[in-house]
Amino acid sequence: MNDVFQYNDKNNLVRKFFLLGLFASALSYFGYIGDIKHFYHSYLVSFVFWMTLSAGCMFFVLMHYAMNATWSVGMRRIAETAMSLIPYVCLASVPLYFGMDILYEWTHHQMKMPYLSKGFFIARSLFYFFCWIVISRALYYYSVTYSSSESLVKLRKWSGLGTVIFALTISFAAFDWLMTLDPHWYSTMFGVYIFAGSFLVSIGFITIILIYLRNSGVLFNEIKIEHYQDLGRIMFGFTVFWAYIAGFQYYLIWYGNLPEEIEWYLARGEGSWINMTLLLVFGHFVIPFLILLFNKAKRVLSLLGILAFLILFMHWIDLYWNVLPNLHHDGVVFNWSDLTVFLAHGGFFMSLFWKKLADYPMVPKNDPRLKDSIEGKY
């Protein structure tokens, strides 16, 4: 087993991504003064992207402990590092509360339901953040400090409760941040839809980071081809799961044929939005499904990396497709801030990620299951 587990930022990724974040933030200002409405919608897309990525990594860690998994021990630290950035992503939500009047139509009307009020909306968001921060901090702390199997038992015990809390909060967060953009539309499956995309994008992110580290000569022996194959299997499974939820949600609304429900889909089937809808169908489901259907494809790292990047890109397209039609009803209108805000958030996120990854060994050396994970005994 390789003893060099400490990440060394020899490529200066922390500095490079930080500078990217600063530069993109400066450029985002011009998007803000140019079209403030589009800026806030772009900001919401970017915020939800990085939040769902971090939250998806937290779910990965929760499942790892709940199922007492052995195969994922060597790669767990990647997910834990992304998960530990949740407090910083939460801070990125602050500007959104200054743009609530622009984003949410219901802020201009006296709603009969107290659920849609600014104060309660912010309070719920703070509650979601509190739950995720507590869970992520507890998981990360015990992971990097435990030295016996007793800590492992505690982590497994509490991961069950954490999974339930996560499932409820991520669903209601999806309802609040995205579904209430159109207060007349609702879907009980929307929370599961966002959750599926969240976990799928986290698997794509973990895959990309591991492939990069492998190409850099790190974790070459600890993470074998079989581990990437397992990631490919999860990627395939949740690609199908996402498509199932998306398709079933559409089918139920189409079958019900209620005006307040079908209007949401009609808006995304008109003008140039239909092109993005088709892109979402083929890019988020058909292409990954057909490629990952073959077992050999899961063992070709270059192909798996391309598919992982495609999944990240399509998750952004998915969120864009959910948010922007509420502003631009006639068709797709791209703006400078679509790219700059995403790069600003991404630059700071990745800078913190690489910095945080260097704080502790990249594999949990004290985990009694590590040897079995490396040797493929699972």
Check: CB of residue 362 under 8 Å from CB of residue 212: no
Residue boundaries of the structural domains of the chain: 14-364
Which has the closest alpha carbon to 99: 38, 168, 20? 38
Closest CA to 370 of 222, 230, 232, 225: 222
pLDDT of residue 149: 67
Give CA–CA dist 319/41, Å, rounded.
10
DSSP string, 36-48: HHHHHHHHHHHHH
CA distances from 34 to 30, 50, 94, 347 (A): 6, 24, 21, 22
Q: 203 near 238, Cβ under 8 Å?
A: yes
Percent with pLDDT over 90 in the chain: 75
Judge whether residue 3 has pLDDT over 50: no
Query: pLDDT tier at 101 (50, 70, 90 boundaries)?
Result: very high
Structural contact between residues 45 and 320, judged by C-beta atoms closer than 8 angstroms: yes
The pTM is what? Answer: 0.95
Is residue 355 very low, low, confident or very high in pLDDT (cuts 50, 70, 90)? very high
The letter for the amino acid at 182 is: D
How far is residue 230's CA from residue 237's CA, in Å, rounded to a whole number? Answer: 11
Distance of alpha carbon 211 from alpha carbon 269, whole angstroms: 37
- Nearest Cα to 351, choosing from 77, 91, 92, 19? 19
Q: What's the pLDDT tens digit per position in 242-293?
A: 999 999 999 999 888 888 788 999 999 989 999 999 999 999 999 999 999 9
The upper half-sphere exposure of residue 99, i.e. CA atoms within 13 Å in the direction of its Cβ, equals: 18
331: left (phi > 0), else alpha (psi -120 to 50), else beta?
A: left
What the block records as the tokens of 214 is 């492998």
Reading the block at residue 148, the tokens are 């016996």
Who contacts 157 (Cβ-Cβ below 8 Å, separation ≥6)?
A: none
In tens, the pLDDT along 331-354 reads 999 999 999 999 999 999 999 999
Q: What pLDDT score does 112 carry?
A: 57
Would you give the distance in Å from CA 166 to the centre of its chain?
A: 13
